[in-house]
Amino acid sequence: MKITARTPDQIGNALRRVRKAKGMTQKDVSARTNLRVATISSLENGDPGTQMRTVLSVLAALDLEFVVQDRVQESQLSIEDIFS
Amino acid sequence: MKITARTPDQIGNALRRVRKAKGMTQKDVSARTNLRVATISSLENGDPGTQMRTVLSVLAALDLEFVVQDRVQESQLSIEDIFS
DNA sequence: ATAAAATTTGCGCTATGGCGTAAAATGAGA
DNA sequence: TCTCATTTTACGCCATAGCGCAAATTTTAT
């Protein structure tokens, strides 16, 4: 599992996809993070105002991590276009 | 350039390292993002409250991107321990 | 269809991010 | 050492994140 993200939408979609792939509900993530279900929802829906602590907390709950790397030249297709 | 980050501090340090490696000042990043120098400073110093829009904006200014991936088992050493 | 689960939205609240502006502190070069 | 550039910190301001709590909406299964 390795998804490039440049926008809040892409990050949100990636997190939702991974969560579902792991068979977890927002409630499950909420329990692991002590964040409200509404907060998880907001993040997954691409709220750009979501704080770093919140994103990192959810990442940890999903056993994910961030990698910061140089931008790679890629097609105009976003991850959302590729995966339904 | 590829740096794993799990904490606001690690993200901040990574961004600062990359910025300097590219010979840019916080003022340069500020000019490219329309964020205040103080905001860049806050981010680089690991403020967990920094918003996603801010992080993504700075990433773009540094020609970087996020990759979300499964956590990798690694030593206890953080990136800060490895690089001065 | 319909019941249950899951997700989204709303309200009032407190805390704080990022803004403009400016000054203070730190770092780097002559 | 002494500037000048860079970074950090402060103050007042407005906007909003995330909280508890709850209701509404959507999705999933039976």
CATH of the domain at A24: 1.10.260.40
Residue-level pLDDT at A72: 79
* Contact, A23 CB vs strand D, < 7 Å: no
Range of the domain at A33: 1-63
Sorted by sequence, the CB contacts under 8 Å of residue B84 that are 6+ apart come out as none
In a domain, B21, yes or no: yes
Residues whose CB is less than 8 angstroms from the CB of residue B33 and which lie 6 or more positions away in sequence, other chains included: B40, B57, B58, B60, B61
Number of independent structural domains in chain A: 1
Judge: A8–B53 Cβ closer than 8 Å, yes or no.
yes
Q: Which residue has the tokens 């339904």?
A: A84
| A12 nearest nt, CA–C1' | C7
Q: Is residue B46 part of a domain?
A: yes
What CA–CA distance (Å, rounded) separates A78 from A26? 24
Chain segment B28-75, per-residue pLDDT in tens: 999 999 999 999 999 999 999 999 999 999 999 999 999 999 997 654
Asked if residue B82 is part of any domain, the answer here is no
Q: Which of residues 17-76 of B touch strand C (CB under 7 A)?
A: 34-39, 42-43, 47-51, 53-54
CA separation for the pair B21, A18 (Å, rounded): 33
Full pLDDT tens readout for chain A, 84 residues: 788 999 999 999 999 999 999 999 999 999 999 999 999 999 999 999 999 999 999 999 999 999 999 997 654 444 444 444
User: Cα distance from B35 to chain A (closest Cα, Å)?
Assistant: 14
Q: Is residue A11 a part of any domain in this protein?
A: yes
Domain membership flag for residue A83: no
Cα separation of A24 and B49, whole Å? 26
ipTM of the complex as predicted:
0.89
- pLDDT confidence band for B6 (50 / 70 / 90): very high
Q: Do B69 and A68 touch (CB under 8 A)?
A: no
Of A15, A52, A69, the CB nearest to B8: A52
Q: Is A2 exposed, middle or buried (0-12, 13-18, 19+ CB in 10 A)?
A: exposed
